[in-house]
Structure 1
C-alpha cells in the first residue's frame, strides 16, 4: 500500500514549488525544499550529494526566479543556481543560524526534517530500501 501511495504522490507533486518573490529553503538530509509562503514541499532521495545531482533536483522541483536559501554545503553553487534563474542566499551554520546580513536561514526545512525523522523513530527506524515509501507516507 505504501508503494501505491508513493507512486500517486510522485504523479500529483509534479508541479514546481516557489516562484518569483517566494523563498524556497533547500537542505540535504535527503534533498528537499519547502516554500515558506505556501508550505508546498518536495523530498527526493539522492544517490550522491554532488553538484550535478543537486542542480537537477532543484531545477526539476523549484520554479525559476524563486529565491533559494541553503546552508553553505559545497554542492549549492551560487553561480550555477543564478545561471538557472534562481536567487541564492545562504547561511553558514558554523557562525550563525540566521545570516545577519541577508536574514537567510533554513530553520523551516530543518523542522520538516525533524518531523520526518521523529515519525520514523516512532516506527523503530527505517529500512533503506523502503525510504522512498516512508517519505511518501510522511508527505
Structure 2
C-alpha cells in the first residue's frame, strides 16, 4: 500500500509504474481510471471485475477478494474513518 494525494488516473499510473513490473497481470474492479491500463507501454494485462454484476469475473475468474480483505484489516488496525479521506 502507498499513500497518495490524488486518486486520479495519472497518479494511479505513476504509482503503478514505480511498483509493478511491466507485463504483470493487474486485477481490479471496474473503476474508470483503469479503462486505459492496457494501452500503457509497460504491457500490463488487465482483468476487471464489475462488482455491480458479480464478485468473480464470469469469463476470467478474476476477483479482488484478497486486496479487499487486506484493506479491511488495514482500516481496522489503524482505526481511522477512511470514508472521509476518500470522498
TM class by shorter chain equals 0.7 to 0.9
Q: Quick one: higher RCO (CA 8 Å, sep 6+), 1 or 2?
A: 1
Moved over 3 A (4+): 79-82
Deviation at 1:111, TM superposition (A): 0.6
Distance in 1 between residues matched to 2:48 and 2:21, nearest whole Å = 18
Q: Which residue matches 1:12?
A: none
Matched, 1:61 2:61: no
Deviation at 1:82, TM superposition (A): 4.0
User: Which whole-Å deviations, capped at 9, do the CAs of 1:69-128 have from their partners, x for residues lacking one?
Assistant: 000011112x3334221100100100111011111111100010011011122xxx37xx
Stretches of structure 2 that go unaligned for 5 or more consecutive residues are: 82-87
Q: TM-score, normalized by length of structure 2?
A: 0.83
Q: Which residue matches 1:72?
A: 30
Distance in 1 between residues matched to 2:5 and 2:68, nearest whole Å = 21
**1:70–1:90 CA contact under 8 A, matched in 2:** yes
Q: Which residue matches 1:117?
A: 75
Stretches of structure 1 that go unaligned for 5 or more consecutive residues are: 1-42, 127-139
Count of equivalent residues: 80
- Cα RMSD after superposing both structures: 1.5
